[in-house]
Amino acid sequence: MKIFFLFFFTLALFSDVICKGDLTRQKPITKIVNFNSIDGSSHMYEPNILEFETGVLYKLILENKSKYKHYFTSYSFSRSIFTRKVQVNFKNQKIAEVKGDIKEIEIFPGQSLEWWFVPVKTGVFNDLFCNIKDKKTNLTHSEMGMTGTIKIY
Ligand SMILES: [Cu+2]
């Protein structure tokens, strides 16, 4: 009897390791990044260090509360994930889902969206940036502080 129990327990353990099914249909873990600007003199991602785990579905809410448009761009990150969808909402209603590979996202003042993805490759990426140019200083938002690091374990 004990041997049978051990056999089925081991089988159950390994079947979970071998076949986890559709990884994009898990319950997502929600993370939020705010795009912030202080008087137009500095711009930032809050938080500016993001951590994810491979094989887990995330719903990353990108929220631009500032008066400026901003990009969320990290080519290393976009190459290391599988995007299920980018979802655009308006007044708590879904208005669009974009599917396929995403390289960068631009979000306009006061708007937000959800990026649903599963990280598939580990790494530490220091190339999160916003390439919008500030008209007064002629510097990019990245040069004014809008950079970040994404870690995938
Ligand atoms: Cu920006």
| DSSP line for 15-42 | HHHH----GGGSPPEEEEEEEEEETTTE
pTM for the whole thing? 0.86
Predicted confidence band of residue 14 (pLDDT cuts 50, 70, 90): low
Task: Give the distance (Å) from ligand 1 centre to CA of residue 28.
Answer: 27
Chain segment 24-48, per-residue pLDDT in tens: 999 999 999 999 998 888 999 999 9
Calculate mean pLDDT across residues 139-150: 97
Cα separations (Å) of 43 from 95, 105, 126, 131? 28, 16, 17, 11
For residues 52 and 23, what is the distance between their CA atoms, to the nearest angstrom?
Answer: 15
Task: Give the distance (Å) from ligand 1 centre to CA of residue 96.
Answer: 23
Question: How many beta carbons lie within 10 A of that of residue 125, not counting itself?
Answer: 18
Q: What is the CATH number of domain 22-152?
A: 2.60.40.420
Residue-range domain boundaries for the chain: 22-152
Task: Give the distance (Å) from ligand 1 centre to CA of residue 133.
Answer: 8
For residues 104 and 102, what is the distance between their CA atoms, to the nearest angstrom?
Answer: 6
Task: Give the distance (Å) from ligand 1 centre to CA of residue 44.
Answer: 8
Q: Which residues of 39-62 are buried (b: 16+ CB within 10 A; e: fewer)?
A: eeeebbbeeeebebeeeebbbbbb
Chain segment 54-110, per-residue pLDDT in tens: 999 999 999 999 999 999 999 999 999 999 999 999 988 999 999 999 999 999 999
Task: Give the distance (Å) from ligand 1 centre to CA of residue 101.
Answer: 22
Task: Give the distance (Å) from ligand 1 centre to CA of residue 123.
Answer: 24
